[in-house]
Chains A and B, each alone.
Chain A
């Protein structure tokens, strides 16, 4: 038992660090906030990694994974967080990709995996509906067989960045008469250019547009786009959610976030001294760091278990709960640290668009919006209450 890196692992760190330094576009460093990013910005690093063959480290090597072990993947995420890269969006690489290589047929793998890896094809997720949030299995969008096609009708919501998506993966009800709601659902890949799809933006409390309503009206999709077996979609959906959860802890990003918070608090003053020297504030930061250390070791233990062949199990629900709590706490403390300059609404200066000098320090610009935005983390990917239900069932055995 030890926490040390081997000389080989240290050499690996040097290698990936050098690659990031040489290849990551400088103007994108530290660009965590999607508000300021064009779709090209968001996929720039993904495309570079695609060429290098590093876009999906966790995938099996036969499908384009890197063959890195859990420690190497941990080093990789640490080095990316150090620079503040914008990692490949999860919808292709972390979500639909693993479903396709695990349950899809050869044609589907050939058609879709290369575009996911290269970053050329943008994916979105059609899971939630206005009436189906935590109770996902109550979804009402239907796919009715008509010859060689499914005809899809319904409404999806919270479809993140669907405004840029080329393809989407949708959960649709194919058997309305199934004994249990979970049993009549299918997992279908949909070309977002298909007639009958309408994507409408939803404005969020942070002022941004990252999610959408997606309306599907008589959308005709070839039956070849069904993944796996008809009416078995719930199994694939759960598999996907477990995969999604395992990366959701965001430890490396949060560690970088704590460093930034310390920098901000060293720069802000309180009672004539740096805010960071204030005991009450320092105590909150230390508590956050301690909680983060606990999360980090817990994630490493989980990864080591996965490496030993246990696969992402219900333990990943712990990572989701603690990881998102910490991300939220971090943005809350950052907003607290910037003081009054958390108040101005970014981009609201009357003559915006001119070279108006920004109000307050740079680090304060997005602090409130980011805090507001991060409230989503304990809601998405299966709300933290749903994660507790999963642990109740799978680990406590109730």
Chain B
């Protein structure tokens, strides 16, 4: 048992921490998310230069041989600055599919571009009627001649407006909610028949509704085995959840610190409101929630390579606990900031919004509670 980070991980954290602090202040971020693009290719290029985008790929695939713990370190720093750039869709999700199930040719085709920052992915898994069930798919991929033909509608595909490529889950067989018959494809977003409606999200990112209208992809667009992709999708999704738990930890840490600072400065009845015990204890509870979240993020991250049941139990437990903490800390932070917390001007509201939306990505509290219960029985 060991809770120490390596020297390299400490260096990555320090470097990223400086970058986020210096270039991703509240004002810079406000301008960035209001800009037409909504993200910074310059920041993305810097992440490539720093080796962040390639960190979790093996050296033979063109990366630097890191893993989930490295992603955790990165995501915590991103969470502190509410970084919007699509690290999870591109590196954790697309990267995960390629690492775990990609052919040599697919790795060759895509990983280099991810590491260099030139190729950006989005993960199109959710559907309007599927809620959080990864197997509840109406999108179909039918084999026709030497191609697959995709039809369907993917919902709230985070980062899709910025992506050059999509990872798409689709049904190649079976009924709408069957565990079997699910396959994963990599699709060039510029392929004919891919239609997107792009929009902003409430937490400062961009997303799309993605429609596939007879989109033809070659057979080598299939990642992994046809019809048997659900375990792979669950694995990658679990990795994404662990990474986002780390992001939430970073955001919670800052939200707590901001609240504490505010309470020390804000005077009412002639004294700083931080001198009121009723607020002190609430800020202590926020701190405790944060510490428990860090613990659960470690648990999920360190169990990602365990056998499937242990991995799922740990990830669902983490998602439940961290999302509960995220709501708690977000809401308390706004309350203690009082009216100022309601303004767009104060940074705290932006942390609150990200911490709110975190819950509904890759399955919310109720979804993961159900999975946890099912695994226990």
A and B co-occur in one complex:
yes
- Is A62 part of the binding interface, using a Cβ–Cβ cutoff of 8 Å? no
Q: Quick check: B376 and A396 within 8 Å, CB to CB?
A: no
Give the residue name and chain of the A residue nearest to B1 (CB). A71
Q: Quick check: A294 and B296 within 8 Å, CB to CB?
A: yes
- Is B2 part of the binding interface, using a Cβ–Cβ cutoff of 8 Å? yes
- Is A4 part of the binding interface, using a Cβ–Cβ cutoff of 8 Å? yes
Q: Which of B128-136, B177-185, B297-305 contacts A (4 or more CB under 8 A)?
A: B297-305
Q: Quick check: B292 and A295 within 8 Å, CB to CB?
A: yes
Q: Quick check: B320 and A290 within 8 Å, CB to CB?
A: yes
Residues 360-377 of B, flagged 1 when their CB comes within 8 A of A and 0 if not, give 000000000100110011
Q: A1-B298, A286-B369 are in contact. List 5 more A-B contacts (CB 8 A).
A: A1-B302, A279-B373, A282-B377, A389-B277, A398-B274
Q: How many Å lie between the Cα of A255 and that of B212 in the bound state? A: 49
**Closest CB-CB distance, A319 to chain B, in whole Å?**
10
Residues 61-86 of B, flagged 1 when their CB comes within 8 A of A and 0 if not, give 00000000100000000000000000
**Closest CB-CB distance, B325 to chain A, in whole Å?**
9
Q: Quick check: B321 and A294 within 8 Å, CB to CB?
A: yes
Q: Quick check: A282 and B373 within 8 Å, CB to CB?
A: yes
Residues of chain A within 8 A of B280, CB atoms compared: 388-389, 392, 396, 398
Q: Quick check: A298 and B264 within 8 Å, CB to CB?
A: no
Q: How many Å lie between the Cα of A289 and that of B313 in the bound state? A: 11
| Option from B3, B260, B281, B296 in Cβ contact (under 8 Å) with A304 | B3
Q: Quick check: B281 and A297 within 8 Å, CB to CB?
A: no
Residues of chain A within 8 A of B320, CB atoms compared: 286-287, 290
Q: Quick check: A2 and B377 within 8 Å, CB to CB?
A: no
Q: Quick check: B373 and A318 within 8 Å, CB to CB?
A: no
Residues of chain B within 8 A of A4, CB atoms compared: 1
**Closest CB-CB distance, B365 to chain A, in whole Å?**
10
Residues of chain A within 8 A of B3, CB atoms compared: 1, 300-301, 304
- Is A95 part of the binding interface, using a Cβ–Cβ cutoff of 8 Å? no
Q: How many Å lie between the Cα of A290 and that of B319 in the bound state? A: 10
Q: How many Å lie between the Cα of A228 and that of B264 in the bound state? A: 38
Q: How many Å lie between the Cα of A238 and that of B123 in the bound state? A: 53
Give the residue name and chain of the B residue nearest to A397 (CB). B260
Chain A residues close to B by CB (< 8 Å): 1-5, 9, 71, 74, 262, 276-277, 279, 282-283, 285-287, 289-291, 293-298, 300-301, 304, 315, 318, 321-322, 385, 388-389, 391-392, 395-396, 398
**Closest CB-CB distance, A247 to chain B, in whole Å?**
18
Q: Quick check: B373 and A283 within 8 Å, CB to CB?
A: yes
Residues 256-284 of B, flagged 1 when their CB comes within 8 A of A and 0 if not, give 00001000100000000011010011011
Residues of chain B within 8 A of A297, CB atoms compared: 295-296, 298-299
Q: Quick check: B377 and A396 within 8 Å, CB to CB?
A: no
- Is B4 part of the binding interface, using a Cβ–Cβ cutoff of 8 Å? yes
- Is B147 part of the binding interface, using a Cβ–Cβ cutoff of 8 Å? no
The 7 closest A-B pairs by CB, nearest first: A297-B295, A294-B292, A392-B280, A388-B284, A298-B295, A290-B317, A388-B281
Chain B CB count within 10 A is highest, among A277, A290, A291, A388, for: A290
- Is B188 part of the binding interface, using a Cβ–Cβ cutoff of 8 Å? no
Q: Quick check: B372 and A294 within 8 Å, CB to CB?
A: no
**Closest CB-CB distance, A3 to chain B, in whole Å?**
5
Give the residue name and chain of the B residue nearest to A277 (CB). B377
Residues of chain A within 8 A of B377, CB atoms compared: 276-277, 282
Q: Quick check: B275 and A398 within 8 Å, CB to CB?
A: yes
A–B pairs, 16, beta carbons within 8 Å: A3-B302, A287-B320, A290-B317, A294-B296, A297-B296, A301-B3, A301-B295, A304-B4, A385-B281, A388-B280, A389-B280, A391-B284, A392-B280, A392-B283, A392-B284, A398-B275
Task: Knowing A304-B3, A398-B275 are in contact, say whether A391-B287 is a contact too (CB < 8 A).
Answer: yes
- Is B291 part of the binding interface, using a Cβ–Cβ cutoff of 8 Å? yes
Residues of chain A within 8 A of B299, CB atoms compared: 3, 293-294, 297
Give the residue name and chain of the B residue nearest to A315 (CB). B291
Q: How many Å lie between the Cα of A5 and that of B2 in the bound state? A: 9
- Is B5 part of the binding interface, using a Cβ–Cβ cutoff of 8 Å? yes
- Is B288 part of the binding interface, using a Cβ–Cβ cutoff of 8 Å? yes
**Closest CB-CB distance, A292 to chain B, in whole Å?**
10
Residues of chain A within 8 A of B274, CB atoms compared: 398
Residues of chain B within 8 A of A298, CB atoms compared: 291-292, 295
